[in-house]
Amino acid sequence: MLKLNGLKLLHYKNSQDAQTVDMPVPAVVRIPMVQHMGAPCVPVVKPGEEVLAGQLIGKSEQAFSVPIHSSVSGKVKAIEDYVASSGALVKRVVIETDGQQRWIDGTPRTVSTQQELVDAARDAGIAGLGGAGFPTHIKLAYKDVDRIDALVINAAECEPYITSDYREMLEYPDDIIEGIKTVMKCLNITKAFIGIEDNKPEAIALLNQKVQGTAIRVEALKSIYPQGAEKVLIYNTTGRIIEEGEIPADKGVIVMNVTTVANLHRFLTTGRPLTHKRVTVDGSFVTNPMNVRVPIGTMISDLLEFAGVDCQMVHKALMGGPMMGTALDTLETPIIKNNNAILVLDEAHARIPKTTACIRCGRCIDVCPMNLMPAALEKAYDQQDTERLETLKVNLCINCGSCTYVCPAKRNLAQKNQLAKGLLKRK
């Protein structure tokens, strides 16, 4: 049996009881043309053009891409270049809102086949909403669909602070269950598992009640980070091991985030694509932790001001959680589809610790959920030894950050693993 390691983290779920609030439509939104893995979209609107909320504003002919829709009604002010948090130069559509929030006439649709489901997921503009941003329609379009017999719903939400998926479970449980049933029907999947960490008993109880009489099972998982990592989640719900170079579908599994599947159901019932995102606002610098439904393209500075944060005093902000999130170089960054949290840190928590020599304690090995040797990988990367990196299987690293977290020498082990993956790609 595979031995899965992990961390016991302080949860800091300060906003778990904070019901989602809607942020007022800002004066301006700036909507990037790439908010997912894959090819960027090309704007299909021009400056001066009036748009409605839900209207298509960006598309791509590439299969590995998802369309972009306006989150507001108003007038296109500009098409501008934008350096995304990934470092890529992309286009974004700047829309001056009219305050009326006029919507397109959405058309509900019924799906019963795999192709109809794939088309709906793409038309909805849905990419993995748990943070990865993998285009949902690509995942659902697996060509050997007869091999798929299990659907795993990722509701673990194992990173500290973040509670956006938790609020989805408490506020929209029926959307989740109906979305799961639709995917199961269209792909002829016989069983589904909802994996939730056991520190969320209210969500577990509610969803257990909702799945009575169905082929859906709620799995209460240990609160060990990174329980929500795809390979870890699959093993702990189905017992199946995803080997190096495999995708979940190779072992008969499709994994979807809990908010993703709920949004798919909402698109089918309303015809309105993905335009808003629930975001947890928390961190050591936030006095009023909250969950906010935000129009995509809203600037993070506007969101923080709504949450009562003095942007001039922010020392550090993260897009995502403290373990796997991305540090922002500016608060003038727009909310995108796969954002689930904005964390704001005070000076003490923002301070970068001093790195010292490795003491060969082995703690990084003890906690690695993929049973890797992070210190050895760091040495191999520093020596640019690609053969050694392959032997040590650096590509199995899931970038959870556990090794860096426990390292008493504060070495940047997880960061080196990501650099090593890039080195192998350029080999």
**Are 310 and 5 within 8 A, CB to CB?**
no
Q: Domain of 189? A: 114-270
Q: How many domains does the chain have?
A: 2
Residue 427: pLDDT band with limits 50, 70, 90: confident
pTM of the model: 0.95
Give the H/E segment covering residue 81.
Answer: strand 74-83
**Are 52 and 119 within 8 A, CB to CB?**
no
Q: Is the pLDDT of residue 1 over 70?
A: no
In a domain, 314, yes or no: no
Residues 128 and 236 in one domain: yes
Last residue of a domain, one of 231, 246, 270: 270
* pLDDT over 90, % of the chain: 90
d(CA 312, CA 314): 6
Residue 254 confidence (pLDDT): 97
Residue 3 confidence (pLDDT): 52
Residue 201: pLDDT band with limits 50, 70, 90: very high
d(CA 176, CA 265): 7
Last residue of a domain, one of 239, 270, 301: 270
pLDDT tens, residue by residue, 373-401: 999 999 999 999 999 999 999 999 999 99
In a domain, 257, yes or no: yes
Q: At what angle do helices 413-425 and 374-382 cross, to 10 degrees?
A: 50
Q: Mean pLDDT in the chain? A: 95
Last residue of a domain, one of 241, 270, 299: 270
In a domain, 296, yes or no: no
Residues 238 and 379 in one domain: no
Domain of 259, CATH number, reads: 3.40.50.11540
Burial class (CB in 10 A: 0-12, 13-18, 19+), 206: middle
Residue 87: pLDDT band with limits 50, 70, 90: confident
- What do you get for the CA distance between the two ends of the chain, in Å? 34
More confident: 270 or 86: 270
pLDDT tens, residue by residue, 132-170: 789 999 999 999 999 999 999 999 999 999 999 999 999
pLDDT tens, residue by residue, 40-59: 999 999 999 999 999 999 99
Residues 126 and 264 in one domain: yes
Other C-beta atoms closer than 10 Å to the C-beta of 70 total: 28
Other C-beta atoms closer than 10 Å to the C-beta of 103 total: 17
In a domain, 294, yes or no: no
* Mean pLDDT, range 299-309, rounded to an integer: 97
Structure tokens at 133: 């941003």
Residues 384 and 264 in one domain: no
